[in-house]
Amino acid sequence: MRPRHRRRRGAVTAVAATLLALSSAQAVSALPASAGPATSGPATPAAPASPASPASPASVVSGVSSVSSVSAVTPGSAVPAAEEDAARALARSLADPVRRERVREAVLASGEVPLTALARGGLKSVLAAADQRIAAAKGLDAGVGPLLRLRLGDASMRGALGAGTAPWVAAAGVDDDAPTVVAYDSRGRAHRLDARHVPARPVYVVDIDGPRALAAGLGVLDAQLRHYGLASAAPAPTRDGAARAPRARAATAGFWTTRVTAVELADDEEPWIKGDAEIYTLVTGFGQDGKVRVDPVDMPYLDNDGTVYRPGQILVNWSYYKYDLADAVMMEDDGSTNYHDLAKAIATALLTITDHGAYIPLVDAVLDAIPDDWWTDDPDYVDSWYTLSRTDDGTRHGARGNGWMTLEPYFVRES
């Protein structure tokens, strides 16, 4: 497992006093009359209630606390509930020595294994149902494919697993601040493990295929933002390179962009059970039509904190924007994000903002649009960059101090 940064939003300031004064009803009324989901998204199912049973006196041995029954699912989130159900079902199935050996070989052979591919019979049905619940909860089409994956909690566990130590199974949907992680043995018993110290016993972690889920989710987000009117059309360049807009952009056919040549995020402690970060950035500004637009940008390479990445990735396409200024809000999908709801929340906030002939920073409005209780983990805010300029050429530190990017102007020529 590679560490990730923590996500902490903290208090943010509204973009303008008028935006702060808007009530929820007024904000929703600002959406276009036709602004329902472009494709009706599945409703987010509620997390199934787990019957509570009195915990037996806990016995703690080397940081491990065993209890008879534990509910580790944060109420109101279907994604960690589905992961938890899958983890319990898989753990019980490992009582079968043939299945246990098959899973062990698959995990040792690969860093991450599609979970449903390891199952047969009733277990496969349970895992398939959990997969469908996760896709629905995230606002993804059922055709996204299997999302559940299985991996070791830490590379240091490989030796014990290879030597035949019986593994436990845990779900990755744990709050970043939780002091313990709940793992299940093959008899269905729950054990509390220290969240900050890697246990000696091998632990399988049931997690989501982050890159697949994020790529599908950003597709949903982009489509919904367009449906709500937050993506104006880019002007077509003329043969002499001047965009059909008030100001010429270039001397030859093409368009100017801002490219990320280097980026690094801060290194913060996280539970050992967490996997790689799934980072994306919402670039926002005023489109050529004077309306607010939002462009999601996937950043799948940003896995490790404290590591400098040099992607050469285009972050802003300036032909989309009226001003030579835009904002960037870097986020992380920590598993429970519903992209239909995220698009609606952002649209509700940003459609109240109008162009008055001067650029208005939009970072605070984006952050205020996202309720804290939408995620099982802390709100997935990483960092933000106010008023990026088309002429930026050098290192810009995020407003939160959690990361920096080195930017450069980059002209994309038409072929």
Task: Give tens-digit pLDDT for 44-91.
Answer: 333 333 333 333 323 333 344 444 333 333 334 788 899 999 999 999
Q: What's the pLDDT score for residue 41?
A: 38
Give the span between the Cα atoms of 345 and 28, in whole angstroms.
9
Q: What's the pLDDT score for residue 178?
A: 82
Q: What's the pLDDT score for residue 73?
A: 37
Q: Where are the beta strands (DSSP E) in 84-127?
A: 113-114
Strand partners, 62: none
The whole-model pTM stands at 0.74
Helix (H) or strand (E) holding 226: helix 210-227
Contact assessment for residue 315 and residue 411, using Cβ atoms and an 8 Å cutoff: no
Q: Give the count of beta carbons closer than 10 Å to the beta carbon of residue 174.
A: 25
SS3 content of the chain, % helix, strand, coil (to 5): 25, 25, 50
Of 386, 391, 362, 363, the C-alpha closest to 259 is: 391
What is the maximum alpha-carbon separation in the chain? 78
Q: What's the pLDDT score for residue 373?
A: 59
* 159-212 residue pLDDT tens: 999 999 999 999 998 777 788 999 999 999 999 999 989 999 999 999 999 899
Q: What is the DSSP letter of 68?
A: S
Measured at the alpha carbon of residue 194, what is the angle toward residues 182 and 81, in degrees to the nearest 5?
25
CA distances from 75 to 13, 79, 407 (A): 28, 10, 41
- Residues (pLDDT < 50) of the chain are 1-76, 236-251, 375-379
Q: What's the pLDDT score for residue 270?
A: 64
Residue with tokens 């008055």: 356
Q: What's the pLDDT score for residue 246?
A: 42
Give the span between the Cα atoms of 194 and 178, in whole angstroms.
9
Which strands, in side-by-side order, build the sheet including 113-114? 59-61, 64-67, 190-194, 180-184, 168-171, 203-208, 148-152, 113-114
Helices 339-350 and 210-227 pack at an angle, to 10 degrees, of 40
Q: What's the pLDDT score for residue 232?
A: 54
Contact assessment for residue 223 and residue 231, using Cβ atoms and an 8 Å cutoff: no
Give the span between the Cα atoms of 261 and 382, in whole angstroms.
19
Give the span between the Cα atoms of 202 and 199, in whole angstroms.
7
Q: What's the pLDDT score for residue 372?
A: 65
